[in-house]
Amino acid sequence: MKKLAVLLANGFGLGLSPVASGTVGTLLALPIVWWFCQLLESPGGVAGILIQCAVVIALSLVAIPICSVAEKHYGTKDDGRIVADEYLTFPICMIGLPWNFWVLLIAFLSCRFFDIVKPAPANQLQRIHGGFGIVIDDVVASLYSLAFNVVVVHFVLGKFIIVN
């Protein structure tokens, strides 16, 4: 089980990238987000968004023990090879948003921006030890990204292209 947790934590090897491992690891979220966006379309409306919220909570909770095991394995607090926190929290950035190239690009870039910048309280939360500390700052950064994405998609992008 430890080997599986470490494999999941490093994104099946994507986290071993020598440059920008968090960004490279976030790419693993793309098939998850494609499926995730289908959840919104199926029941539609508020029901779809509630299902998406349940899924992001579940993914974030699953990320905690995976990251905790990997942190112990690597022996370093929030080791750069651990990317499960990035790819399992990225769907938060897409709650209620359609699967569309432009929306996905904006969400990906804003997610990486807020994860790197870590506005308060995300920067303070990353000091928490263990898997919870690894994941919670990414959850908060993803919530910032979601707020940004909703504004951009509905009030800016929606004026120029069809986003649904």
If you search the block for the tokens 């804003």, which residue do you land on? 110
Q: Using CA atoms, how far apart are residues 160 and 57, in angstroms rounded to an integer? A: 33
Residues whose CB falls within 8 Å of the CB of residue 116, separated by 6 or more in sequence, listed in order: 22
CB 88 within 8 A of CB 5: no
CB 137 within 8 A of CB 122: yes
| pLDDT confidence of residue 36 | 82
Rounded to 5°, the CA angle 54-72-25 comes to 55
Query: What pLDDT band is residue 19 in, cutting at 50, 70 and 90?
Result: confident
CB 97 within 8 A of CB 38: no
Condensed to tens digits (0 to 9), the pLDDT of residues 21-66 reads 999 999 999 999 998 888 777 777 788 899 999 999 999 999 999 9
- The structure's pTM equals 0.91
Return the half-sphere exposure (C-beta side, CA atoms, 13 A cut-off) of residue 143: 12
Write out the two tokens for 156.
Answer: 């800016």
Write out the two tokens for 78.
Answer: 């929030």
Question: Where do the structural domains in the chain lie, given as residue ranges?
Answer: 2-160
The yes-or-no verdict on residue 157 having pLDDT over 80 is no
